[in-house]
A and B are shown apart, each in its own frame.
Chain A
Amino acid sequence: MDHKRLRLYNKLKERGLTPEQDQRILSELYDERLHDLPDASQNSVGPGIETFPHASDSIYSYNDLFTLQHITALQSTYSLTLHSIDELLERDKKRKEDGFPRKINVGRLIKPGRGGKDKVVVIPSTVEEKFIHDSSLMPPEEGGQSGGTGEGEEGEVIGEQPVRDPEGSGEGPGGGEGAPHEMESSAYDLGKILTEKFELPNIKDKGKKRSLTRYTYDLTDKHRGFGQFLDKKATLRKIVETNITLGNLPDINDIDPTRFLISPHDRIFRVLSREMDYESQAMVFFLRDYSGSMAGKPTELVVAQHVLIYSWLLYQYAMQVETRFVLHDTEAKEVPDFYTYYNSKVAGGTKVFTSYRLVNEIVNKENLVRDYNIYVFHGTDGDDWDTDGKEAIPELKKMLTYANRMGITVAQRSSGSSTKTEVEKYLEASKLLTEKPDLLRLDVVQEDADEPRLIEGIKKLIS
């Protein structure tokens, strides 16, 4: 791996790099980290080192019910909370009409689990704004102080605690386990919320690719003589028909049904039949850059946005959505489930085109174009060793020949230079964005973007 990276680097170097690019690549080049999944039991730091999970709690976070009786409030579910999320969001919409800013956020979106047991958790949250003192004035390296007891000289280090997310593994929004007032909801519900309440658009054209997706069974076929359900109207019609042919109906103005001759064959029944149901279906490719430079916030943003997009498509296509996940650094690979996609740690360098090529290959090999509407969403921080997109652009062009939509999210590092990232640059140079606005969209978010901004970004990517 390392040799390969080094060879790549040398090749790039020959072509010439700006010092800035050089530095960025170097920082990823000697990245020794691995793309493994986070250890589930990652609580202890090591032997002999104490950690203080509650060190930042203030005196006001203690309470009698828990301390004395170990009572904690139950986590609420849909059935328990008084207002459903629909009502809350309805209220929020009214606020806007009344001229006040909206107040409800939809927070904490996903808890990925293995084997497709992903749970999307929707928690409506809000802040009550007041005039309060801001205690966050301290320099970031100094993290507040607290009380302590026991041995130790002044200045002595008595324990440590890993900085959250040390590997930048993207264990993002799941954060607080077991917070009260959780509402569980399926991704489908979330999609509905996004569509209806955040005014994400409906897909205008779901594409022509319809496929036989399921059979439904209904009593629709007619059958003479026997069956499951007598169709009285049809039977009567048949009897009248038969009697007319037999001449048993002399005066149509004076019909006497008691004189009808009825053949057993005249009875019409309905029988169970298999109906074919055609629906649009979609295949979504999620591409994530998991190179070393993606550590921390950019990964979180990209993944959070992909969850939202997934939910939205799920709703739009009435559950007929299949997903594929692709991760890339200098090489791309497909991963089997969202859990792996979500949790794989960052490491290594960046070559965007590898993932595009992989998608093209998959689509080609499995002949997906015939049956699916294909969506591709790619999340990156904008770095690419392939600085002028020589390899990425051709792959991208190929992709745009079949995709319904390709959305690229660039989560920009705020600390980096204010100039545009490489991906942005070569996309602009290629003019694809302006030539094919229906097919290709780009959204650039800053590192510190919040959820409303992400949702805004989705609008940009999909509308």
Chain B
Amino acid sequence: MELIDQHTKKIMEGCKERALNAGLRFQDETLEYIVTNRDLLELSPKLMIPTLYDYWVHDVEVLKEKGRYELYPSNPYETVINTRPAISFYNDNNPDWLNVLIFYHVLAHIDFFQNNLYFRHTWDYDFTGQALSDKRMIAKLRSEKGRWVDYVIEFTRGIDNLAGYHDELSRLNRPPVTNLSKRLDFYFDVFLQSIKKVKIHDYIKEIERYNDCVKKDVERGERSFFSDVRRKYPEFDAIFKKSLQEKPKHEIDLIQYLMEHSDFLKKDENEWMKPVMQVVRKTSVFFQPQIRTKIMNEGWASYWHEKLFLQDERIKGHEVDFARTHAGVASLPRVGLNPYALGMHLFYYIEEIANKGKYSIEFRRLLDAYKRDKFDAGTGQGQNFIFKVRENLSDFLFVNTFVDQDFITRNKLFVAGRRLNKAKMVWEFYVKSRKAEDYRKMLLDTLYHPPHIEVEPEKGKNKTLYLVHRFEEKPLVKEFIANTMMGIEYLWGGPVQLETSEVASVTGSSTPTKEEKKEPEIKWQRVLYTMENRKLSKRNISSV
């Protein structure tokens, strides 16, 4: 790996200038490296982070047939990584015009990394630097503990997709602290809602009553408000006092729970395992936003590389070359999903709609199709609007909010189905639906979505770790359960139980009638897996 030459670096600096003028925001320093195929061989298993810890699985072909991308939160072939400074990778024989295109693409990615709020937790440190010290720590431990370090890595990686990424984020994106009293917050946020569970109607009445009190007397309004409260709920003061003594509770994920509560890990001779687990968890959390913003991130980068390339006067004359390469990136495939094209078209669409002021109540109130079509408030806020979108949304929200029927119709999108033609022994592709609703559902179904599994300490008896899978109509992959639970058992140092749901029976799919294909009806059965002494057993519990 070596840095790009001065000539190319100069081109990059020119690109930065133009990108900044266009409104992108990113740190000024970046590093660009030339990579060979051989470099990539070592980089790709490490998710392009050159300093990531060593792990033997990186040297083996990892089978991805089952749940391919569900297992890994990152793409192994990124061209730019989210570090400080951001590092990007290039072929050594790219022509200048191609480099310009890629530079814009990379800069838009960096802008996205450094401004999208889902990356908030990665902003304050350099991951490569931290990864390097972690790698050294693991290497040192490996020289002392041998292969047991790899077992700890393996078992922790087995649950790293359950890491509490959203909890981590919410801790950073706290709403601003109100300067109202804690008593008031507690009364309205906790007492009424969680403890008394009052109806919305009554809740609003209370708010009105409070506002009246304050209006009457700014100084003593609150006090008089609570004197009434005490009359109504004599127990309020006691409960409030008690709540003050309780430590603020924050959600912790399975890895954290093990690190805090496992008797096995508390033993002196096992204390070294915790930092290793921490490294695995941190790495997972670091990569989580990447996979949750794939469509947006690639769409944003494609939008900008097109826009900025065509404005760049330095490479005039390469429009045809550009068109050829860009078409490969940004054309919507006849069948299949291309995140670049989808995201880019969606950003263009949003910009246009926002330019006409269509994201407004006035527009939504219009029912006349003709008027809707011709509506143009001429706000010119499109560009601003998409900058806000890039700051605040993830793939789920992006798709769920903006993929509407107009977008589908304009881009001639459809849900493609695949079915077996037994007579010809071919898979037939057909247009399944052109409804926005179906398209959106199909998209959302393809998005990364790890299962939600929590520890329930109350249910675990006799030092058993009790896990509950919050069921979302999708069972877990069965053959992975045993080894994953074995890993948890090792780290926990006692039996582990997992409550989840499985298919009990499927009806209706065996006799498909031609006229009306019924969705097969699935009956679910709640089951409890128990892993004890490295042996797995299963029993049914009350069905759901």
Residues of chain A touching chain B, judged by Cβ–Cβ distance below 8 Å, are: 45, 50, 52, 54-74, 76, 80-83, 88, 91, 94, 98-101, 104-105, 107, 123-135, 137, 139-163, 166, 179-182
Contact = CB atoms under 8 A, between A and B. Distances in A.
Given A107-B61, A139-B509, A145 B336 contact: no
Contact of B59 (A66, A68, A83, A94): A83
Contacts of A182: 61
Interface in B381-434: 411-422, 424-434
A179 B70 CA distance: 20
Interface string B67-102: 111110001111110000000011100100010011
Contacts of A127: 62-63, 66, 480
B38 interface: yes
Given A155-B431, A157-B428, A141 B474 contact: no
17 contacts: A59-B338, A60-B68, A65-B78, A72-B37, A72-B40, A98-B147, A100-B151, A101-B486, A134-B474, A139-B512, A143-B420, A147-B335, A153-B431, A154-B434, A157-B429, A162-B426, A180-B41
Interface string B313-356: 00000000000010011001111111110100000000000000
B450 interface: yes
A17 to B, nearest CB: 28
Interface stretch (B115-123, B153-161, B200-208): B153-161
A83 B56 contact: yes
B480 A132 contact: yes
Nearest to B58: A82
Contacts of B417: 142, 145
B446 interface: yes
B476 interface: yes
Given A65-B78, A101-B483, A125-B60, A148 B340 contact: no
Contacts of A58: 68-69, 337, 446
B431 A59 contact: no
Contacts of B534: 99-100
A148 B335 contact: yes
Nearest to B102: A68
Interface residues of B, number: 111
Contacts of B59: 81-83, 88, 181
A132 B161 contact: yes
Contacts of A125: 60-63
A60 to B, nearest CB: 4
Contacts of B425: 162-163, 166
B399 to A, nearest CB: 10
B522 A137 contact: yes
B60 A135 contact: no
| Residue in B105, B147, B338 with the greatest tally of chain A CB atoms within 10 Å | B338
A232 to B, nearest CB: 51
Nearest to A52: B335
B475 A133 contact: yes
Contacts of A148: 333-336, 413-416, 429, 431
A129 B336 contact: no
A455 to B, nearest CB: 17
Contacts of B418: 55, 142-146
Interface stretch (B128-136, B187-195, B217-225, B290-298): B290-298
Nearest to B298: A62
Interface string B155-192: 00111111000000000000000000000000000000
A80 B91 contact: no
B interface majority secondary structure: mixed
A166 to B, nearest CB: 5
B44 A180 contact: yes
B35 to A, nearest CB: 8
A105 B434 CA distance: 44
A128 B55 CA distance: 12
A162 B428 CA distance: 9
B38 A74 contact: yes
Contacts of B216: none
B94 A69 contact: yes
B31 interface: no
Nearest to B420: A141
B75 A131 contact: no
Contacts of A59: 294-295, 337-339, 342, 446
A182 to B, nearest CB: 8
B493 interface: no
A96 B141 CA distance: 22
Contacts of B101: 68
B198 interface: no
A149 B69 contact: no
Given A88-B59, A150-B334, A133 B419 contact: no
Contact of A161 (B71, B94, B429, B483): B429
Interface in B452-467: 453
Contacts of B154: 128
A74 B415 contact: no
Given A99-B534, A132-B70, A133-B475, A160 B159 contact: no
B394 to A, nearest CB: 14
Contacts of B420: 140-143, 163
Given A123-B61, A133-B451, A159 B102 contact: no
B41 A150 contact: no
A35 to B, nearest CB: 19
Contacts of A98: 147, 151
Given A52-B336, A154-B432, A159-B334, 13 more contacts: A45-B426, A58-B69, A63-B75, A63-B79, A67-B340, A68-B105, A91-B147, A99-B534, A126-B62, A130-B161, A133-B449, A141-B419, A148-B414
Given A74-B37, A129-B484, A69 B79 contact: yes
Nearest to B40: A73
B496 to A, nearest CB: 12
Contacts of B41: 73-74, 76, 80, 180
Contacts of A72: 37, 40
Contacts of B139: none
A93 B70 CA distance: 29
A354 B414 CA distance: 56
A52 B426 CA distance: 12
A162 B476 CA distance: 30
A149 B413 contact: yes
Nearest to B343: A59
Given A69-B79, A141-B420, A131 B469 contact: yes
A69 B520 contact: no
B541 interface: no
B60 A88 contact: yes
Contact of A63 (B38, B78, B335, B481): B78
B416 A60 contact: no
Contact of A146 (B70, B94, B442, B503): B442
B11 interface: no
Given A55-B416, A180-B44, A62 B475 contact: no
Contacts of B475: 133-134, 137
| Residue in A55, A81, A128, A179 with the greatest tally of chain B CB atoms within 10 Å | A128
A101 B338 CA distance: 39
Contacts of B367: none
